[in-house]
Structure 1
Amino acid sequence: MELKEAIQEIKKQGYKTTAKRQDMLQFFAEADGYRTAKDLINHLEPTYEGISFDTVYRNLHLFDDVGVLETTELNGEKHFRLSCSHHHHHHFICKDCGKTKEIDVCPMDEVHQSLGNYAIEGHKFEIYGLCPVCQAT
């Protein structure tokens, strides 16, 4: 999902797209991988002096609920990235830098066979490790 699409989706669902919200989404549009709320606050602080964790978390959860951000948990902390909903895929996520690489393989065909009469409502498949750059350092 691109920045313009994310802003449109927020508007479509009846929420305001303030300059602060657009700046938050811009941060994720430019990020290479998952980022934390702290990363976002550090980015916003020069422009929005004194921005609170509450404001940031409230907006992050709104963006997640609306479907413009994806979340994962790394090292016990929630991480966010702009949603990439154009096609079904999964991610390798670097545990050090948070960069992601798309994986087109999905294990759900086998899972559906194993759970034939179960009603599966969704899934999340992520692989964690170190990217080549982080392995080299």
Structure 2
Amino acid sequence: MKHTEAIRKLKENGYKSTAKREDILTFFMDADGYRTAKDLIQYLEPTYEGISFDTVYRNLHLFDEVGILETTELNGEKHFRISCTHHHHHHFICKDCGKTKEIDVCPMNEVQNTLANYLIEGHKFEIYGLCPACKSA
């Protein structure tokens, strides 16, 4: 997702584009993979001294709600990354550094055959482990 597309999504949903939200977008646009709220606070703290977890979580929830960010849970903590909107795919997620690798294979064809009489409304498929850099460290 591009920066301008994210701002457009905010405005379409009735939210303002503030300097803080712009900085949050920049953080996630530059991030390589999933990041935590704590990572974001450390990034914002020099500019917004005393920024609260509440403010950060409200914005993270908003960005997730309007489709700018996607979330996952790693090691019992919520992690966020910029949404991938260019094509349908899934992710391998490194449990140490949060980096992701796209997986173009989707298990839903097999699942749909197994659940032929069910209405499937959505799915999420993630694989967790260690990336090559973290594995060799």
Aligned to 2:15: 15
- Cα RMSD of the aligned pairs, angstroms, is 0.5
- How far 1:131 moved relative to its partner? 0.3
Q: Structure 1 residue 86 and structure 2 residue 66: aligned?
A: no
User: Where do 5+ consecutive residues of structure 1 fail to align?
Assistant: none
**TM superposition score normalised by structure 2:** 0.99
Aligned to 1:96: 96
User: Where do 5+ consecutive residues of structure 2 fail to align?
Assistant: none
Q: Secondary structure in 2 aligned to 1:35? A: coil
Q: Summarize the alignment of residues 1-137 of structure 1 with structure 2, pairs less than 5 Å apart.
A: 1-137=1-137
- How far 1:2 moved relative to its partner? 1.6
**Matches of 2:42 and 2:4, distance apart in 1:** 23
- How far 1:89 moved relative to its partner? 0.2
- How far 1:132 moved relative to its partner? 0.4
**In the comparison of the two structures, how many residue pairs are matched?**
137
- How far 1:85 moved relative to its partner? 1.2
Amino acid at match of 1:67: G
**Matches of 2:38 and 2:106, distance apart in 1:** 31
**11-20 or 26-35: bigger deviation:** 11-20
Amino acid at match of 2:94: C
* Superimposed CA distance per residue, residues 63-108 of structure 1 (whole angstroms, 9 cap, x where no aligned partner): 0000000000000000000001111000000000000000000000
Amino acid at match of 2:68: V
Q: Secondary structure in 1 aligned to 2:43? A: helix
- How far 1:3 moved relative to its partner? 1.6
Q: Secondary structure in 1 aligned to 2:48? A: coil
**Matches of 1:49 and 1:106, distance apart in 2:** 44
Q: 4+ residue runs of structure 1 moved beyond 6 angstroms? A: none
**Matches of 1:129 and 1:2, distance apart in 2:** 28
**TM superposition score normalised by structure 1:** 0.99
